[in-house]
Amino acid sequence: MNNVIYFDISAFIILVIFVATLLGRRQARDRANTLLLILIELATLATIGDFVSAYVENASEYTRMGYILSNVFNYLFYGAHNLLFAIYTLYTYASIDIWHIYNQSKKLKIMWWSVVVFGALLLLTNPFTHAIFEITEPVVYTRGSLIILNYIYAAFFAAWSLGVVIKYRYIVRRDKIYTIIILYPIVITAAVVQALIPGMLVEMLGVALAVLFFMIVMQRHEYQIDPVVGAMKYTTSVERIKRIFRMNKPVTIILIKVANYSNLRLYLGQSLYNKYLYMVSELLGDIAFKHSYPVDLFYLKNGTYGYLSDEYDINKAIPVAETVKNRLAGAMNVGEYTVHTDARICIVRCPEDIDELATMMSLVLTFHETMGDTKDVMLYAEHRNDRNFMIRNEMDDILARALKENLFEMYYQPIYSTVEKRFVSAEALIRLKDEKYGVISPGIFIPMAENSGAIHAIGDYVLNAVFDFIARNDLEELGLKYIEINLSASQCIEVDLVDKILHMIATKGIDADKVSLEITETAADINPAIVDSNVQRLHAEGIRFALDDYGTGYSNIRRVTTLPVEQVKLDKEFVEDIDNPKMWIVIQDTIKMLREMGKEVLVEGVETEEVAHRLTEIKTDLFQGCELIQGFYFCKPLPEKEFVEFIKDRL
């Protein structure tokens, strides 16, 4: 009987293309990709065995060589065919990120190996029993009486794989499920046709077509990779990380942060910056490949890359991370420009180091800030018990808890007038005392609140608390003219800021002139149109304004002249360098200039009598020098009750 071998030829062509495609990817292969390559190689070997054995049967009269070739390639077909289904079961676990479930289960391993050994024994004993097949004269393939066992073997693994997908369907993309469902009818139909019509060799073509569907949907490169960056897309990366934590899968993640990404984007422009990101992705992929370190490379925006690996040994991750550090430390040529990458690298193992998704995602966003300013490779395990790191890493939860449970407290630092020789006002300062970590410095939680957006809720809390303080206390009786309140940059550009503040003032029944709002130069320059509008409208209602932190960074004198500010606060950096003769000239000239513009001048951070005296003795043609001083020399910030007692004692 002539066998129809053209189906095997078609299957062979399809499978060889896929093998070449996988081998051509220059990346360190993870377990899933490695098993997929083995699957396609086994399918190719089974196709070769099926084709050659059928060709020999078609072309040969009985010869010793024909007999040997037919036997060898039939055994090749059955051996590769059987392993194909067994390996596919393992690939199912790996491809949906639940390999650890199989790997940690002795029962599953024993079951897999038992069935594989059973199939192997069927083939190994076949030369004696001819239970599966027999080659008879003249080179005729004949099925054995127990061939059904071979089909049962294949059906067992197919059912096992399908059962795994159904059981864990909630973590599998819907298109993957559909692909797997379609895969079974294709393979089963082809197998049934070949079983009923032995000469119609369509089974391996069915397998090849199933692989075709499988590759298109489950391993579709362009579906997972961002073409601009050259790494796994943001949404795909996040979903992958979510699935890992949902299944409690052991993985190692190496985080790589381009800390100077915003400067690079400004320097290069968006087009060349995109090229730079792609170059970094290629570099990271090349490093993983050369270390034979199996990874998925992902990109989580804002210059943050990550290696995601099933390899759990920290000692294998460290050399990879060190190579990344050293390679990124060198100069890179991007177009006409040479750039230097300021990289931060951290290694974390899940679930040993982190077992919660929220904590992991917070670490991804903040590790370069929370784990210290070092370019050495950082191990999360060495930092996770450090108090400051834990605070920073849990700041979102800490702030949410503080707002919910009212853990904030307002302190007030008196401001001394060198002209009136008394305390005339005070600055309201927020403090946080967490139940878990105790007192947390505003220098830590305020910047992080600004980054997370929690600063708006904190700002509302401060306004309410200070307005309540003003309503409870008669400021004139205390000799105080107003209370100063800091507005964050985010608050300054709130479109409803004016209405909100005026509504609070009216509700509390306080006078607007008892409130002085402090804004920084940075805040004033974020969105000048909105800030100017908010300041002008509030000032028209009688609220005072002060320009805070003047002299830090780039000081825009235009903001002093255009904004209706009554007071300018010189940053404590002036005071810290007051013994420098050049700085002393700057301080004198700055105070003179501001006083002659009609602005009150307040210097912060005064801690000694000598400094206070020097500042008050500065003279201009018309005015005495600095008339307002704030600092530890006079008083540190105090809780409300202590502050009121302090002021009363000095009336």
Residues 270 and 158 both lie in one domain: no
- Residue 417 and residue 616 in contact, taking contact as beta carbons nearer than 8 Å: no
- Residue 559 and residue 547 in contact, taking contact as beta carbons nearer than 8 Å: yes
Residues 144 and 40 both lie in one domain: yes
Residues 494 and 561 both lie in one domain: yes
What pLDDT was estimated at residue 622?
46
- Residue 32 and residue 88 in contact, taking contact as beta carbons nearer than 8 Å: no
Residues 160 and 302 both lie in one domain: no
What pLDDT was estimated at residue 221?
46
What pLDDT was estimated at residue 620?
52
Residues 48 and 124 both lie in one domain: yes
Q: Quick one: which of 164, 210, 208, 202 has its CA closest to 184?
A: 210
- Residue 306 and residue 253 in contact, taking contact as beta carbons nearer than 8 Å: yes
Residues 330 and 354 both lie in one domain: yes
- Residue 95 and residue 105 in contact, taking contact as beta carbons nearer than 8 Å: no
Q: In terms of C-beta density within 10 A (0-12 exposed, 13-18 middle, 19 or more buried), how is residue 385 classed?
A: exposed
- Residue 475 and residue 482 in contact, taking contact as beta carbons nearer than 8 Å: yes
Element of type H or E holding 286: helix 261-290
Q: Is the pTM of this model over 0.85?
A: no
Sign of the C-alpha dihedral computed for residues 26, 31, 32 and 38 taken in this order? positive
- Strands 408-417 and 638-639 turn out to be antiparallel
Asked if residue 589 is part of any domain, the answer here is: yes
DSSP 555: -
Out of 219, 250, 279, a domain closes at 219
- Strands 331-334 and 304-309 turn out to be unpaired
Residues 178 and 248 both lie in one domain: no
What pLDDT was estimated at residue 32?
77
Report the CATH number at residue 565.
Answer: 3.20.20.450
Out of 219, 246, 271, a domain closes at 219
What pLDDT was estimated at residue 218?
54
Report the CATH number at residue 200.
Answer: 1.20.1070.10
CA distance 621 to 635: 31
- Residue 371 and residue 381 in contact, taking contact as beta carbons nearer than 8 Å: no
Cβ contacts of 627 within 8 Å, gap of 6 or more = 417, 418, 419, 600, 601, 616
Please list the residues that pair with 140 across neighbouring strands. 136
Asked if residue 394 is part of any domain, the answer here is: no
What pLDDT was estimated at residue 500?
95
Asked if residue 152 is part of any domain, the answer here is: yes
Residue span of the structural domain in which 543 resides: 409-429+448-649
Residues 16 and 96 both lie in one domain: yes
CA distance 367 to 570: 33
Q: How far is CA 242 from CA 170, 172, 353, 439, in A?
A: 12, 12, 16, 33
Token digits of residue 481: 């003219």
Q: How many domains does the chain have?
A: 3
DSSP 552: S
Torsion angle of C-alpha atoms 40, 43, 47, 53, degrees rounded to 10? 140
DSSP 512: G
Residues 297 and 280 both lie in one domain: yes
Q: CB count, 10 Å around CB of 415?
A: 26
C-alpha angle with apex 325: 272 to 278, nearest 5 degrees? 25
Q: CB count, 10 Å around CB of 198?
A: 14
Token digits of residue 513: 């002139």
What pLDDT was estimated at residue 97?
76
Asked if residue 402 is part of any domain, the answer here is: no
Tell me the average confidence (pLDDT) per consecutive run of 10 residues in the chain, 651 residues long: 71 78 60 82 85 76 75 88 90 82 90 94 90 80 84 89 84 68 75 74 77 63 71 83 84 92 90 93 90 87 89 90 92 91 91 84 78 80 77 85 92 92 94 90 86 90 95 93 92 91 94 92 74 92 90 62 86 82 84 86 89 75 71 92 93 80
Element of type H or E holding 218: helix 203-218
pLDDT per position as a tens digit, 84-106 = 889 989 988 887 778 888 888 99
Beta strands, E only, 159-312: 225-226, 231-232, 251-258, 296-299, 304-309
Residues 211 and 230 both lie in one domain: no
* Amino acid (1-letter code) at residue 144: G
Asked if residue 313 is part of any domain, the answer here is: yes
Asked if residue 56 is part of any domain, the answer here is: yes
Asked if residue 338 is part of any domain, the answer here is: yes
Asked if residue 159 is part of any domain, the answer here is: yes
Out of 353, 385, 417, a domain closes at 385
Residues 240 and 206 both lie in one domain: no
CA distance 160 to 89: 7
Residues 243 and 361 both lie in one domain: yes
- Residue 631 and residue 607 in contact, taking contact as beta carbons nearer than 8 Å: yes
